[in-house]
Amino acid sequence: MLTLKYIQENREDVVTRLKTKRFDAGEIVNKIITADNDRKSTQAEADKKQNELNTLSKSIGQLFKSGKTEEANEAREKTGALKEEIRVLNGKLAEIESDIQKLLVQVPNLPHSTVPEGKGEDDNLVEREGGEIPTLEDALPHWELASKYDLIDFELGTKLTGAGFPVYKGWGARLQRALINFFLDEATKAGYNEVLPPLLVNEDSGFGTGQLPDKEGQMYHVTEDNLYLIPTAEVPVTNIFRDVVLDEKDLPVKQCAYSACFRREAGSWGAHVRGLNRLHQFDKVEIVQVAHPDNSYEILDQMVAHVQSVVEKLELPWRILRLCGGDLSFTSALTFDFEVYSAAQKRWLEVSSVSNFETYQANRLKLRFRKAGEKKPQLAHTLNGSALALPRIVAAILENNQTPEGIRVPKVLVPFMGTELIK
């Protein structure tokens, strides 16, 4: 979240920049500043009362020693009244501070200066694109190919759990495993340290990366234990550094992780979410970096280049979008989306988002670093990206590589699959 100090010192900048995200921050910023002024005056009053109490308390002993018993008893009564006044003021102070925190978490991250104006996904800018879009006659969509080659059983998944929980079978399961191993190997080669995180996190972890408060109800909640199924490995991996102070020399920290991901995807229906296009459970490899604020955007470019290289090795047609303000997430300062082309569906499918959150997550996480020779630490920058999410990658591989003989396996996956053709 934004720091209170930044909002106080840059009110107009906050309001103006958040208009790019189509968020009217005027009212809530005024509430934050008003509440903070109230906090300051209450704190000043409490401090004044505490000083009076300290002075009066010291005088009581002297009064008794001087034989001024009546004055001493009066002073003692006054200390009791002061203590009660201070207790009330401290209670009020705690309420104000709680209210300020509740307001702060409602303010989105500020968009980077390069974020274009726009209402939604139709206004995103194409940065660059590559690969060849295949020309196929009578191409089958991936859900028909999955049935034809017995790769994925959507109906069985519905029987076992519900819609959006497919069962991968035979070569379909092997393709999943191949992609996961390939993505992890590529990330490791790029210098990322692999971790295998839990699939459930506590409330503090959800808050730290901005998933909580869950305004859209997209997280699965295990109510009895108050735990949440992770929507992405970003949550546990980034929270590894919650309440941590790193040394500047150790930045950037690079982590990658494979995990299953769980999203309720409330309100999703229609042909555009058929098959693997929109799932409640899916697999993904995530890359995360904790970076120095001075070079986090250079690192963002490196992460984008890494994802591009992985998509290119899969021989898929791709494009990179710079998200406009209206399509930018609540927590992101700048995001690049990757899409691959689906030859059978004849449309672009999103497979990755790579984002810089600057200090927004770090402030919630209390994730800081300390420069050599300095006592006071400062907030780090956090970044993450999908490298990659599997479902739509699998959809594009199946659809784009279908032949009369079977489905051609991309060359980089052959060593993992043990075959060049699924048939």
Binding-site entries for ATP: 263-265, 350-353
Comparing CA positions, the residue from 224, 251, 223 lying closest to residue 372 is: 251
The binding site consists of 232, 263-265, 286, 350-353, 384
Number of neighbouring beta carbons within 10 Å of residue 213:
11
Buried b (16+ CB within 10 A) or exposed e, 79-91: beebeebbeebee
- What would you report as the CA-atom Rg of the chain, rounded to the nearest whole angstrom? 28
Q: How many Å apart are CA 125 and CA 102, to the nearest integer?
A: 34
Please report the DSSP string for 5-55 in residue order.
HHHHHTHHHHHHHHTTTT---HHHHHHHHHHHHHHHHHHHHHHHHHHHHHH
Helix residue spans in 197-335 (DSSP H) = 203-208, 234-239, 296-313
Question: How deeply is 150 buried, as exposed, middle or buried, from its count of CB atoms within 10 A (0-12, 13-18, 19+)?
Answer: exposed
* Binding site listing for L-serine: 232, 263, 286, 384
Is 232 in contact with 240 (CB distance < 8 Å)?
A: no
Report residue 83 as tokens. 């203590």
CB atoms under 10 Å from CB of 245, counted, come to 13
Question: 247 pairs with which residues across the strands?
Answer: 370
- Helix axis angle for 69-104 and 26-65, nearest 10°, is 160
